[in-house]
Amino acid sequence: MGGELIAFNAVLIIGTFAIVLFIAWAIPVRLWIEAISAGVRVGIGYLVGMRLRKVSPPAVVRPLIWATKAGLDLSLPDLEGHYLAGGQVDRVVRALISADKANIDLAFNQAAAIDLAGRDVFEAVQVSVNPKVINTPKVAAMAKDGIQLIAVARVTVRANINRLVGGAGEDTILARVGEGIVSTIGSADSHKAVLENPDAISKTVLGKGLDSGTAFEILSIDIADVDVGKNIGAELQTDQAEADKRVAQARAEERRAMAVAKEQEMKALVGEMKAEVVKAEAQVPLALAEAFRSGNLGVMDFMRYRNIEADTDMRNAIAGPDDGPTAPPTG
């Protein structure tokens, strides 16, 4: 009987301890006291329900205390709903407080939508109050005279609260400013004109409305630095001249190859003609023999033919050597 009583008392103590731990976990007494002292009416049952809904009471109640002390009228269910949607309640409340102090019209639903869209609404309000400067990377462009200019600009922007949801970001601003700088320098007749008046780039680019459809409003575009780069025009002309030279050399080599081929063809043709001459000359003795046999040629006729042939050879020797080999002198 004594053992059963001891076991019962142990179970009772453990159960009581567990109930106390559950109550301490489910009811954040300290947070409830903070809310009551700040004038925020939060029921203990609502705090227990937040625990059961897997909502962190401090993450919702403390931002509500900040908002109440700042004079904002926010409801606890709205903050809890934003927490359950995956938003950052503290940053939304801070943004609302900052906007209220800066006289910026920002409703809770709009701030929650901006936060759920993935943008930092608190930073957006800060940028709206205190504009920030974005430095563009080096932008290279070529004027009409062929000289390259490298420009760096500083863009002062202010966040546009109404276009934060669905508006383009800083990358779009930088891309549009870079495109404007390239087009402005490219339309200049001389790079000297750009160097003498760099603010013309700012005025031209700023007048194009580059902040359309973005989450920012461009306040100013200042050209921080303009450097002279390469002489692109001269390099292009040099490259073109080199290319023309190579084309001319290729055409000349083609003509030379054709001339060499033609020369070889003519030499081959000369060789064929000489072969025909030799072949014809070989027929002469045969014809003479046939004339002797047939009685058409006598001995005296043949001797006159040889004298004429010898006289012709002598005249050719006196006139000069021909293309054939020169006979060695005799005696």
Q: What is the distance in angstroms between the CA of the first residue and the CA of the last residue of the chain?
A: 166
Single pTM value for the model: 0.56
C-alpha of 44 from chain center? 59
From residue 298, how far is each of 293, 304, 310 by CA, in Å?
10, 10, 18
Q: Using alpha carbons only, how large is the chain's radius of gyration in Å?
A: 53
Q: How far apart are CA 292 and CA 136, in angstroms?
A: 111
Q: Which class does domain 132-231 fall in?
A: alpha beta
Instruction: Return the HEC string of 120-161.
Output: CHHHHHHHHHCCEEEECCCEEEECCCCEEEEEEEEEEEEECH
Q: Which residue has the tokens 């919702």?
A: 60
Give the pLDDT of residue 19.
52
* Domain limits, the chain: 14-125, 132-231
Give the pLDDT of residue 2.
55
Q: Give the DSSP per-residue string, 214-230.
A: BSEEEEEEEEEEEEEEE
**What is residue 59's three-state secondary structure?**
helix
Give the pLDDT of residue 331.
39
Give the pLDDT of residue 92.
92
Q: What is the token pair recorded at 257?
A: 């190859």
**What is residue 112's three-state secondary structure?**
helix
Q: Which of 94, 54, 52, 58 is nearest to 76 (CA)?
A: 58
Q: How many CA atoms lie within 13 A of 270 on its CB side?
A: 7
Q: Which residue has the tokens 């002279």?
A: 228
Q: How far apart are CA 65 and CA 35, in angstroms?
A: 7
Give the pLDDT of residue 330.
44
Contact 134, 169 (CB under 8 A): no
Give the pLDDT of residue 236.
77
Which mean pLDDT values do the consecutive 10-residue runs of the chain (331 residues) have?
61 60 60 80 80 84 88 88 90 90 87 87 85 88 86 87 80 86 86 81 80 83 83 78 88 89 89 85 79 75 78 81 50 39
Give the pLDDT of residue 239.
80
Q: How far apart are CA 197 and CA 191, in angstroms?
A: 10
